[in-house]
Chains A and B, each alone.
Chain A
Amino acid sequence: MTDLEHELAALIVESLALHDVNPADLNRDTPLFNEGLGLDSVDALELAMAVHKKYGVQIKADDPSVRDTFYSIGSLAAHIELARGTEPR
C-alpha cells in the first residue's frame, strides 16, 4: 500500500471508532461496505467529513462515481490523489 493508503486505513479506523479493526489488517482492496468492513451510511457521512477535514477533498455526490470512490481504500486514495492533481498509482 502507498503512504496515503496507510494513512487512510488509520483514518478510517480512528474517525469511525472501529475498536475491533486493526489498520494493519486492511489492505487496498478491502471493501469498505457490505461484505468487507461493513460500514454503514452514517460511517459514509463521517468518512466523507474526515477526508474533507484532513485532505480538503470533497466527495461530490452529483458525481455518479461516488459509490466507486467509497468502494475501497485504494479507490478512495485514487480519488484523493486525482482531486489534489497528483497521478493515482
Chain B
Amino acid sequence: MTAFDLLAPLSKPRRVCSAPAGNGWLSTRDARRDLARLLSALDQQGAHGQPPAPNPETTLLVVASDRYHMLLACLAAWLRGSTVSLPPNHQPGTLDDVRTESGAQLVLTDAMVARSLASEHGLADEPRELADRAPIPADRPVLTVFTSGTTGDHQACTKTAGQLFGEALTLAQALAFDPSRSVAATVPCHHLYGLLFSVLVPYFSGAGFVRDAAFQPAEICGTCQHWQVTDLVAVPAHLAALVEAGWAAPFQLERAFSSGAVLDVELACEFRRISGAQVVDVLGSTESGGIAWRVSEPGAVYVPLPGVEVAATEDSRLLLRSPFLPPGTGWEAMSDRIRLVAGGFEHLGRSDGIVKLGGKRVAVQELEARARQLDGITDAAVLVMPSTELRKTELWLAVAAEHGDWTRASLREALGRYFDPVLLPRRYRVVHRLPRNALGKLEKAELERLFAHDERAVRRAAGPKQGPDARPASDSSETCWTTDVWVPEQSPFFQGHFPGRPVLPGVAQLSEFVLPAILQAWAELHQLERIPVLKYKRPIQPGARLALELRRRGAASVHFELREDGELCSAGQLCFVVSGARESTMTPPDNRP
C-alpha cells in the first residue's frame, strides 16, 4: 500500500511560507524547528493551557486562520497518529457543537500554536522529535471537515491519507505548482478548498505560501505585490471585487484560482484583461474532492483531473469515479448537471438546494432548523433572493414567534453563533404565524409579501403603490384603491396599549396606514380637515395582515375600510382641505422617519 512521507517536503532547503510582519520567508529549516516544538508540546506537556494529550489516537480540532499554524498543527497531528477536525466556521456556537460532534480531545487554536512555538519547548530535541516518524498509510483517516448540512447538524466528511494527500499531489502536478511559485489566498484554510490550494498543495509542491488571508481589493493587491505572488486562490466574489475595483496588476500574478461557486466566463475574461492573469476554474466539492478544471475562457471545457473518470446520466447528472472519493466507492452521482463533449464536459448547473453565498455554501434547511430551535420560535422560512452585483444572492428569514422578544438584532446574534456573518440573512420578519396554506406549504410569493412592507411601515407610508397588489379601479363616480398592509410585530404604539395584550390604537391606524396611503394615492389630499364618520369594529393585533380599501368620494372626501381576513376592523370617512382652501385643524403625518 502507498504511504505518504509528510516530512519529505522539509528535507531540502527552500522557503515554506511568509514570515510574520512581512519579513521575508520562513525556510524548511524554520519549519522543522517549529514542527519539533509543537510536537514536543503536544507529546509531553499538552498544548499550552490544555491538559496533556498522551494518547496519540486523538482527534484534534484545529481552529487556525494562520496558514502556517494550520500546516504545523496538521503535520504534528498526523505525524503522531492523530486525526484533524476542521470546523465550518469559527463562531463560538459552532465550535462548541463541532467539538462535541467530532469527539475532539484537544482544541488547537492559533494562539496555542503560537505559544507552543515561542515557549521553552523551543529547546525540543529536533532530530529526536522528527526521527522515526513513520509514513502515513493511505487508508488511515487523517481529516474530518465539517460543513453545513441540510438537516441542521453539521455534515462530517472524513478523508483518508490517500484521498487528501493523493489529491494534493495530483493537483500540484496537474496544475504545475513548483518551488518557483508563490501562493496567496482570499479564502480561509479551514475549508477543504483553502486547505488544499493554499496550504497542502504549496507544501507538497515546494511552492511558498502567504500565511494571512487578504480580503479587501487593496489588501489583495498589497499582498500580491509584497510577496510577488504568482498564484491567487480566490472565489468568484473576490475576483469580481478586484475587477470592480479596477485592479491593475503590474506584478507577477500569473494565475487566479476560482472554486466554490459558478464563475462567469465574462468575469474571468475581464479579470484576465486587467490583471494579465488567467483564471483557473476548479470544479469540486468537499465530499467529492476535485473533479475537473479549466482555464476559464469562452468555449473552454472542463477537463477531469488525472485519475478522475466522469460520465453523465440520461438526465445530465454527473457521474464520478475518483481516487478522491472514499475508498471502495464506485460510480457516484453528483448534484452537478453536465454535458459530455470532446475532451471533457460542459457544466450546466446544480440540482440541489445548497445556496452559495460569497463563495460559501449554506443549506437553507440548516438555517431554518437553527431558527426553529430558538426559544419561542415556532416556525421559520428562508427566502433566497437576488442581491447586489457583488453579492448576487442573499437570504431573508421570516419566523413565527410566540412572544415579541425576537428582533432583527437578537435573531442575528442568536444565529451568528452558528453561521459565518456572510451567510446570515439580510432581512428579517417576525410574525405570529407564517402564511402557510391548508397543506402546510409556503408559497414563495406569500413569503415575499411578508417583506413587501418594510419595518418603517409604522412610521412611513404603507400605502398604495403601482404593482399587482395596488390597483386603481374606477367607476363613474369614485376611484378605488386597495393595498395590503402589514402591521409590524414591534412598534412603540403597542407599548402600554395594552400590557400583555397589544392592540393597534385607532389613531395609529389613521396616522400610520390610512393617511399615508391616501397621501400617496392622491397627493393633493395632504391636509385633513375633519372625520365625520369613524368606526372601530375589531382590535388589530401585532403582525396582522390587513387589506386597506380607499374610495375617493368627490374632490375632498375619502372612505376607508381596513379588513383582516375579510372581517371589517375599522372604517370611516375623512374630509380633506383641497389645495388653496381653508386652514386645517389636523395635519397628516409627514414622511419624516
B133 in the interface (beta carbon within 8 A): no
Query: A45-80 toward B: CB 8 Å interface, digit per residue (1/0)?
Result: 110110010000011111000100000000000000
Those of B214-239 within 8 Å (CB) of chain A: 214-222, 237-238
With a cutoff of 8 Å between Cβ atoms, the chain A residues found around residue B244 in the complex are: 49
Q: Which of A35, A38, A46, A60 contacts B388 (CB 8 A)?
A: A46
Most chain B CB neighbours (cut-off 10 Å) among A33, A35, A42, A62: A42
* B245–A42 touching, CB < 8 Å: no
With a cutoff of 8 Å between Cβ atoms, the chain A residues found around residue B451 in the complex are: 19
With a cutoff of 8 Å between Cβ atoms, the chain A residues found around residue B327 in the complex are: none
Complex Cα distance A66/B219, Å? Answer: 10
**Distance from A27 Cβ to chain B, minimum over Cβ atoms (Å):** 13
* A61–B219 touching, CB < 8 Å: yes
Q: A16-B388, A49-B244 are in contact. Are A44 and B216 (CB under 8 A)?
A: yes
Query: A9-50 toward B: CB 8 Å interface, digit per residue (1/0)?
Result: 000000111111010110000000101001011101110110
Complex Cα distance A66/B238, Å? Answer: 18
* A62–B241 touching, CB < 8 Å: no
* A38–B241 touching, CB < 8 Å: no
* A48–B217 touching, CB < 8 Å: yes
Complex Cα distance A25/B455, Å? Answer: 12
B546 in the interface (beta carbon within 8 A): no
**Distance from B413 Cβ to chain A, minimum over Cβ atoms (Å):** 8
Complex Cα distance A18/B244, Å? Answer: 20
With a cutoff of 8 Å between Cβ atoms, the chain A residues found around residue B456 in the complex are: 22
**Distance from A83 Cβ to chain B, minimum over Cβ atoms (Å):** 13
Query: B86-98 toward A: CB 8 Å interface, digit per residue (1/0)?
Result: 0000000000000
User: Residue of A at shortest CB range from B226?
Assistant: A62
Which range holds the interface residue count of chain A? 20 to 34
With a cutoff of 8 Å between Cβ atoms, the chain B residues found around residue A58 in the complex are: 218
B301 in the interface (beta carbon within 8 A): no
* B216–A20 touching, CB < 8 Å: no
Complex Cα distance A38/B221, Å? Answer: 26
Query: B183-219 toward A: CB 8 Å interface, digit per residue (1/0)?
Result: 0000000000000000000000000000000111111
Q: A61-B214, A61-B218 are in contact. Are A41 and B422 (CB under 8 A)?
A: yes
Q: Which of A16, A22, A40, A66 contacts B424 (CB 8 A)?
A: A40
Complex Cα distance A22/B391, Å? Answer: 21
With a cutoff of 8 Å between Cβ atoms, the chain B residues found around residue A48 in the complex are: 216-218, 245
Query: B377-421 toward A: CB 8 Å interface, digit per residue (1/0)?
Result: 000000000011011000000000000000011001100100011
Q: Which of B218, B241, B422, B592 contacts A40 (CB 8 A)?
A: B422
With a cutoff of 8 Å between Cβ atoms, the chain A residues found around residue B424 in the complex are: 38, 40
* A61–B222 touching, CB < 8 Å: yes
* A41–B387 touching, CB < 8 Å: no
With a cutoff of 8 Å between Cβ atoms, the chain B residues found around residue A18 in the complex are: 426
* B593–A25 touching, CB < 8 Å: yes
Those of B428-458 within 8 Å (CB) of chain A: 428, 451, 454-456
Q: A24-B593, A61-B219 are in contact. Are A46 and B390 (CB under 8 A)?
A: yes
Q: A24-B593, A41-B422, A42-B422 are in contact. Are A19 and B427 (CB under 8 A)?
A: yes
* A62–B218 touching, CB < 8 Å: yes
B472 in the interface (beta carbon within 8 A): no
With a cutoff of 8 Å between Cβ atoms, the chain A residues found around residue B455 in the complex are: 20
B358 in the interface (beta carbon within 8 A): yes
With a cutoff of 8 Å between Cβ atoms, the chain A residues found around residue B428 in the complex are: 20
**Distance from B522 Cβ to chain A, minimum over Cβ atoms (Å):** 25
Complex Cα distance A40/B456, Å? Answer: 23
Complex Cα distance A17/B408, Å? Answer: 16
Q: A25-B593, A38-B424, A41-B422 are in contact. Are A49 and B241 (CB under 8 A)?
A: yes
With a cutoff of 8 Å between Cβ atoms, the chain A residues found around residue B238 in the complex are: 45
* A20–B217 touching, CB < 8 Å: no
In the complex, 19 of the A-B residue pairs with CB atoms within 8 angstroms, ordered by the A residue number, are A19-B427, A19-B454, A22-B456, A22-B593, A38-B409, A38-B412, A40-B420, A40-B421, A41-B358, A41-B421, A44-B215, A45-B216, A45-B241, A46-B388, A46-B391, A49-B241, A59-B216, A60-B222, A61-B220
Give me the interface of B with A, judged by CB distance under 8 Å: 214-222, 237-238, 241, 244-245, 358, 387-388, 390-391, 408-409, 412-413, 416, 420-422, 424, 426-428, 451, 454-456, 592-593
Give me the interface of A with B, judged by CB distance under 8 Å: 15-20, 22, 24-25, 33, 35, 38, 40-42, 44-46, 48-49, 52, 58-62, 66
Closest 5 CB pairs of A and B: A61-B219, A40-B421, A61-B218, A24-B593, A62-B222
Q: A17-B426, A22-B456, A35-B409 are in contact. List 11 more A-B contacts (CB 8 A).
A: A15-B388, A17-B388, A19-B427, A24-B593, A38-B412, A38-B421, A41-B422, A42-B391, A45-B390, A48-B216, A59-B218
